[in-house]
Amino acid sequence: MKEIQLNVNGKDYSLNIDENMRLIDLLRDKLGLLGTKEGCGEGECGACTVIMDGETVTSCLVMAFQAHGSEILTIEGLESNGKIHPIQQAFIDVGAVQCGFCTPGMIMSAKALLDKNPNPTREEIREGISGNLCRCTGYNKIVDGVELAINYIEEGK
């Protein structure tokens, strides 16, 4: 067992964890943050993407102890003042969601992209979400959703 401190979605935690625990297990099993999904367990599908200190990570490949001292943002942390994030709203509005299993990870990747590059081209959006697999949508409506989110963010929606 090992004790770690970390901040998840703006909240500080001090937790005792097994050394072999992965970050995704910490989020899901310890904190009940079930929006982070496991699709492959090898960092290939991106369903478990969260933002760790400003960078996207696949939480199935990060050990929980490696998150000691860091700030983690998950899909549950995107809501502010009772309002969902503009990317979430845009995904709803353009129909970027089908089965939904890739959606939280996809939105986290989109957020990390827009945080760094607020005005990406369609190609840059494709590249930004290329680590997130989706089997349902063919990605185009997801790219539409990120483009619309750019407008929403500019409009302060």
Partner 1 sequence: MKKRGRGIGVSFYGTGYGNGFPDVSKAKVVLHDEGKVGIYVGGTEVGQGAKTALLQIGAETLSISLEQILFISEDTSLMPDSGTAAASRQTYNTGNAVKKACENFKDRLIDIAKEELELNSTHGLKVEKGEIYLEFFPDKRISFKELVDKYGDGTIQGEGEFIAQTVEMDPETGQGAPYWPYTFNACGVELEVDTLTGQVEILDAVFAQDAGKAINPHLVEGQMDGGFAMALGYALFEDLKLDKGRIKSNKFSRYLIPTAMDMIDVKNIIVEDPESTAPYGAKGIGEPVMIPIAPAILNAIYDATGVRIKELPVTPEKLRKALDEANGGGGSD
Partner 2 sequence: MKFDIVGKNIIRTDAYSKVTGKALYPQDIYMDNMVYGKTLRSKLPHAYIDIDTSEAEKIEGVIKIFTYKDVPNNSHGVVFKDHEVFCEKKVRRIGDPIAFVVGETEEVCKLALDKIKVDYKELEGVFDPEIAMDENSPKVHGDSNIVYHFKIRKGDIEEGFKNSYVIAENTYKTHMVEHAFLQPEAGVSLIDEEGRVTVMVATQYPHYDREEVASALNIKEEEVRIVNTNIGGAFGGREDISLQIHLALAAYTLKRPVKVVYSREESFIAHAKRHPMIMKCKTGADKDGKLLAMEAEIIGDTGAYASWAPNVLRKAGVHITGPYYIPNVVVDSYAVYTNNPFAGAMRGFGATQVPIAHEQQMDILAEKLGMDPISIRMINIFKQGSVTATGQVLTESVPVEACIKEVVKRMDLFGEEGHNEETW
Binding site for partner 1 (CB under 8 A): 39-40, 42, 44-45, 94-95, 98-100, 122, 125-127, 129-143
Least Å distance between CB 7 and partner 2? Answer: 18
Residue 79 is encoded by which pair of tokens? 């809501």
The verdict on 84 binding partner 2 (CB under 8 A) reads yes
Selected from 10, 69, 95, 118, the binder of partner 2 by CB under 8 A is 95
Distance CA 21, CA 54 (A): 22
| Residues 65/71/73/74 CA torsion (nearest 10 deg) | 20
What stretches of 40-147 adopt beta strand conformation (E)?
49-52, 55-58, 71-73
65 or 91: CB nearest partner 1: 91
> Taking contact as CB under 8 A, which single stretch among the options 2-10, 63-71, 113-121, 128-136 is the one that binds partner 2?
128-136
77 or 144: CB nearest partner 1: 144
Distance of CA 15 to the CA centre of its chain: 22
- Which partner in partner 1, partner 2, none is near 139 (CB below 5 to 8 A by kind)? partner 1
Distance CA 45, CA 144 (A): 20
What backbone phi and psi angles, to 5 degrees, belong to 43?
A: 75, 15
Selected from 135, 138, 151, 157, the binder of partner 2 by CB under 8 A is 135
Selected from 8, 26, 73, 134, the binder of partner 2 by CB under 8 A is 134
- Which partner in partner 1, partner 2, none is near 126 (CB below 5 to 8 A by kind)? partner 1
What backbone phi and psi angles, to 5 degrees, belong to 44?
A: -95, -30
What does the DSSP assignment read for 14-63?
EEEE-TT-BHHHIIIIIT--TTS--SSSSSSS-TTEEEETTEEEETTTSB
Footprint on this chain of partner 2 (rule: CB under 8 A): 28-29, 32-42, 45, 47, 74-76, 78-79, 84, 88-89, 91-93, 95, 97-104, 107, 133-136
